[in-house]
Structure 1
């Protein structure tokens, strides 16, 4: 993560940034990415299965068959335990 921000990029592509991490460390990484977005304005695009990332996202893109098939604003998505409804 430090190397990704070293050159102050406009966009960071993060592939499973919380994958294989314990809960606490994963939450710390999510907080770090959100803080860096807010403080430096960097756009973070993350491919993830971690639903905790939804709470710090502005937009959600879903993929099917290798293509983006749905984009929506986070505030328009209703999330329930065990279920995501759009």
Structure 2
């Protein structure tokens, strides 16, 4: 009986660790998405007002704002053309 309780405790502990790692990975992925959106907004050829509005949207609502910018905003705003040297 003690062995079964130990196994149940170990399984519960393993599940807790798995969930903690899963939440950490999800949080890092969302942080990366947020940073990519903000960097993309800064690099776009949008006007200063458009950049400001998009930045505020992404800062106020990080997940929805970042997804909206990456799905809609980037298509609406053209990016600067790079030269032959890639600079």
**TM-score normalised by length of structure 1:** 0.28
Larger radius of gyration: 2
- Report the structure, 1 or 2, having the larger strand content: 1
Q: 1 or 2 for the larger relative contact order (CA 8 Å, sep ≥6)?
A: 2
